[in-house]
């Protein structure tokens, strides 16, 4: 019970932080910033994949995982503010309308993604390639869970 209350308080705090942060950023910039975050994560996911399939470089994997964890846990929810649900001029977005209507599920997926990114960074610091492979797979699944439901196909 205490845990539930604490979690609710945290959720409310997270939301107010998100609101304060998004208030200062124009909707078109919010879209650009969130896309930049995903794009930079995808480069780092690619590097980790390359390491798992080829020669494993512990430092490169750890650095890539840190970048992903840092981005994932930076409060990207603030980049989905009002007006960012559709294209603004030449700034396109592939986010589906459902994303903005299913806050509870989106929040759940986001928390799973953040946790998976944090886990990967922890495991990558240890340098055990097999453990990294497992954590990387879990992170990939959490990306896919959101993409499948809330991202338009190319």
Q: Residue 28 CB, nearest distance to a copy of itself (Å)?
A: 13
Q: Residue 98 CB, nearest distance to a copy of itself (Å)?
A: 25
DSSP 26: -
Nearer to a copy of itself among residue 17 and residue 87 (C-beta): 17
Is 96 exposed, middle or buried, given 0-12, 13-18 or 19+ CB atoms closer than 10 A? middle
Nearer to a copy of itself among residue 13 and residue 98 (C-beta): 13
Q: How many CB atoms lie within 10 A of CB 148?
A: 8
Q: Residue 45 CB, nearest distance to a copy of itself (Å)?
A: 11
Where along the sequence are the contacts to a copy of itself (CB under 8 A)?
17, 20-21, 24-25, 29, 32-33, 35-37, 39-40, 43-44, 46-47, 50, 55, 57, 59-60, 63-64, 66-71, 73-75, 79
Q: How many whole angstroms separate alpha carbon 30 and alpha carbon 9?
A: 25
Q: Residue 55 CB, nearest distance to a copy of itself (Å)?
A: 8
Q: How many whole angstroms separate alpha carbon 66 and alpha carbon 60?
A: 10
What is the sign of the dihedral through the CA atoms of 143, 147, 153 and 154? negative
Nearer to a copy of itself among residue 45 and residue 106 (C-beta): 45
Nearer to a copy of itself among residue 44 and residue 142 (C-beta): 44
Q: How many whole angstroms separate alpha carbon 106 and alpha carbon 149?
A: 10
Reading the block at residue 86, the tokens are 């559709």
Nearer to a copy of itself among residue 42 and residue 134 (C-beta): 42
């Amino acid at each position: 019970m205490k845990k539930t209350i604490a979690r609710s308080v945290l959720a409310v705090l997270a939301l107010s932080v998100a609101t304060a942060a998004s208030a200062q950023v124009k909707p078109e910039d919010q879209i650009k910033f969130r896309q930049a975050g995903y794009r930079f994560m995808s480069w780092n996911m690619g590097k980790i994949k390359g390491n798992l399939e080829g020669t494993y470089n512990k430092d490169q994997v750890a650095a890539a995982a840190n970048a992903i964890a840092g981005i994932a846990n930076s409060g990207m929810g603030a980049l989905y503010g009002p007006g960012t649900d559709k294209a603004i001029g030449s700034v396109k977005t592939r986010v589906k309308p459902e994303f903005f209507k299913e806050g509870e599920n989106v929040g759940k997926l986001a928390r799973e993604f953040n946790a998976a990114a944090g886990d990967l960074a922890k495991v990558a610091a240890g340098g055990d390639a097999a453990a990294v492979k497992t954590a990387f797979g879990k992170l990939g699944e959490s990306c896919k869970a959101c993409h499948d439901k809330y991202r338009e196909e190319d």
